[in-house]
Amino acid sequence: MRVSSGALRRVAVLGSVFVLTTGCSAIPPPDTVQTPTRPAISTAAAAAVITHYNQVNSKANSTLDGNLLATVEGGALLQQSQAWFEIARASKAKPGAAYSYTSPVIGSPQYGSYPMRFVSSAGFSGDKEYRHLGVWERATAGSPWLLTFATAVKSTVKIPDLTGLRVATRADDAKLATPTQAAASSLATYLTGGSTSPRAAAFQPNADITTMLTDLAKDKAEQMKDRVSVRSITNTFTAPPDSAAFVTKSGTAVVFVSLTHEYRLGVGNNWEFWWDSFPERVYSPPTVKYQTALTSTTVRDAVLLVPPKGKGKIQVVSFTAQLVDAGGY
């Protein structure tokens, strides 16, 4: 960019409104199997997969070993976990206490080809306030099962029975308040537009989302007071093209969405900004200055319950976040 003869003004961004939680689907190309349609996995085999995950995850967390974790996690979840490991190493944080998923309940849809998925609902060892809800994926017959989505849902939240879970189809979508993939994209549009977005009407109020949108709006209003140093601020949310979506025997769909949240601050002429807040400075140290834009990327996981037509609004039963990148240009 062109810089005038005046002194270059410098601004350090001292804080961030992002709410971070440790966290804990994109589908690889199909690998057709020559077998009839069958459950993705048996309950006993799923329990063994989860037991193996508990063992590997505990070791990986104790050593902050992202490569080891990649043997049992994949997709956006692995990206978030590895980001948390990087932040933990930078802060010299002590490894978290070991935990495991207990007494899992399995939803195993029918498949005739790979990739295959199953859903798990389980307790957390030592924590009765929350339950685990996750999606596991196997890309091919020779691939391991990987946990690709995991979140914590308050134990007081009622999750539909996973018995008889099936993959959502177009026929199912026609019976729902909103088609499953449209629900995911509607959430992204709602969050991008903010609390006044017309899409907000499709969703039941969610305290975590309300807090995030309020914080983002306050941050924008504060930063934009100086229209000389800050040209613009945008928060853009994007849903993947194919979020994992299933229908329960009650007719309610469960959609697992990993949203990408892109933050961008447009820098005014003859100014430069840099990240001086934690954890953003893990990715972009304060010595690195940006004269065009300041950026960050956060993955925000949401679990949506989409009711049948005429049975109410979409419910967001979990909404968590993990910063995965920060920088600028």
For the record, the structure tokens of 254 come out as 């469960």
Task: For residues 192-213, give the mean pLDDT.
Answer: 97
Q: Residue 3's pLDDT is what?
A: 23
Separation between Cα atoms, residue 216 and residue 233, nearest integer Å: 10
Residue whose entry in the numeric block shows the structure tokens 């957390």: 124
How many structural domains is the chain composed of? 1
Task: For residues 85-100, give the mean pLDDT.
Answer: 87
| Cα–Cα separations (whole angstroms), residue 21 to 35, 80, 184 | 41, 10, 21
Per-residue model confidence as pLDDT tens digits over 40-49: 999 999 999 9
Task: For residues 3-31, give the mean pLDDT.
Answer: 37
Residue type, 171: A
Task: Let me know if residue 1 belongs to a domain.
Answer: no
Please give the torsion angle defined by the CA atoms of residues 101, 96, 215 and 18, in that order, rounded to the nearest 10 degrees.
-100
Separation between Cα atoms, residue 112 and residue 292, nearest integer Å: 50
Q: How big is the chain by its Cα radius of gyration, in Å?
A: 21
Residue type, 132: H
Task: Let me know if residue 254 belongs to a domain.
Answer: yes
Task: For residues 185-209, give the mean pLDDT.
Answer: 97
Q: Residue 75's pLDDT is what?
A: 97
237 Cβ neighbours under 8 A, 6+ residues apart: 187, 188, 189, 191, 192, 259, 260, 261, 262, 300
Residue whose entry in the numeric block shows the structure tokens 């307790």: 123
Per-residue model confidence as pLDDT tens digits over 263-303: 999 999 999 999 999 999 999 999 999 999 999 999 999 99
> What pLDDT band is residue 6 in, cutting at 50, 70 and 90?
very low
> What pLDDT band is residue 93 in, cutting at 50, 70 and 90?
confident
Secondary structure class of 77 (helix, strand, coil) = helix
Task: Let me know if residue 2 belongs to a domain.
Answer: no
Q: Residue 218's pLDDT is what?
A: 97
Separation between Cα atoms, residue 295 and residue 272, nearest integer Å: 13
Contact 180, 245 (CB under 8 A): yes
Task: Let me know if residue 31 belongs to a domain.
Answer: yes
Task: Let me know if residue 35 belongs to a domain.
Answer: yes
Domain span at residue 81? Answer: 9-328
Task: For residues 108-124, give the mean pLDDT.
Answer: 97
Task: Let me know if residue 261 belongs to a domain.
Answer: yes
Q: Is the sign of the CA dihedral 146, 58, 50, 159 positive or negative?
A: negative
Per-residue model confidence as pLDDT tens digits over 47-70: 999 999 999 999 999 999 999 999
Task: For residues 138-153, give the mean pLDDT.
Answer: 97
Task: Let me know if residue 91 belongs to a domain.
Answer: yes
Q: What is the pTM of this model?
A: 0.88
Contact 319, 301 (CB under 8 A): yes
**205, pLDDT greater than 60:** yes
Task: Let me know if residue 3 belongs to a domain.
Answer: no
Q: Residue 95's pLDDT is what?
A: 74
Separation between Cα atoms, residue 109 and residue 13, nearest integer Å: 47
Question: 55-67 in b/e burial notation, b at 16+ Cβ within 10 A?
Answer: ebbbebbeebebe
**11, pLDDT greater than 90:** no
| 124 burial level (CB within 10 Å; 0-12, 13-18, 19+) | middle
Contact 150, 120 (CB under 8 A): no
Q: Is 126 left (phi over 0), alpha (psi -120 to 50) or beta?
A: left
